[in-house]
Amino acid sequence: MNLILLGAPGAGKGTQAETICAKLHIPAISTGNMIREALKNGTEMGLAAKSYMDKGDLVPDEVVIGIVKDRLQQDDCKNGFVLDGFPRTIPQAEALDKMGVRIDKVIEIDVPDETIVTRMSGRRVCAECGASYHLVYKKPKVAGKCNFCGGALVQRTDDHPDTVHARLKEYHAKTEPLKAYYEKQGKLVVVDGQEDVADTSRLTLAAIEA
């Protein structure tokens, strides 16, 4: 199954991608994680993307299209994948279509902006492995430490309130038009993302299996 997870920043795409991937045994492809990894490794692409990310702006289309194209050619994508955070603009969606990639379903995780701001302020991520937590909704077993690798939990630089507002603005202007794009293709399914993580997972898996 080839899936796209659509939704505002902080809607829970990464959280739900984990559940879907564990259930369907397919990889999650998160452009945000790939860019952060490139930045951590000091690559030219990562460093060029940093200025956009820090402001809450989208990275230029040609950069992300290139990394997704390469990633989808890897062997582990043969039996399906979940795209988390891509496409995010109409030109990115058109590029995916032009690559000849067949998409089965596009799941939109729908969460209002007010909830997003609360979620982002409580998110903490592992500085070592990138695993994601929340101070209230998804606490680590030991405060401030990653369950998997013991790494320190930190706030993402783009999760500060001003940047979150900028990211939401980008989302409404550039990503929201994708809903109509995929609705026209008969692929869009909307899931209520305001429930807790487990209930949202149930709704998301039901939407995939329907």
Residues flagged as binding site for AMP = 31, 36, 57-59, 85-88, 92, 156, 167
The reply on whether position 20 binds ligand AP5 by CB under 6 A is no
Q: Are 144 and 133 in contact (CB under 8 A)?
A: no
Considering only CA atoms, which of 210, 180, 187, 206 is closest in space to residue 16? 206
Can you tell me the distance from the alpha carbon of 6 to that of 105, in angstroms, rounded to the nearest whole number?
A: 10
Q: Which is nearer to ligand AP5, 92 or 105 (CB)?
A: 92
Q: Are 162 and 54 in contact (CB under 8 A)?
A: no
The reply on whether position 140 binds ligand AP5 by CB under 6 A is no
Helices (H), the chain: 13-24, 31-40, 44-55, 61-72, 90-98, 113-122, 161-170, 177-184, 197-209
Judged by beta carbon distances under 5 to 8 A according to partner kind, the member of Zn ion, ligand AP5, none in contact with residue 9 is ligand AP5
Judged by beta carbon distances under 5 to 8 A according to partner kind, the member of Zn ion, ligand AP5, none in contact with residue 132 is ligand AP5
The footprint of ligand AP5 (CB under 6 A) covers 7, 9-15, 31-32, 35, 52-53, 56-59, 64, 85-86, 88, 92, 119, 123, 132-134, 137-138, 158, 167, 193, 195-197, 200
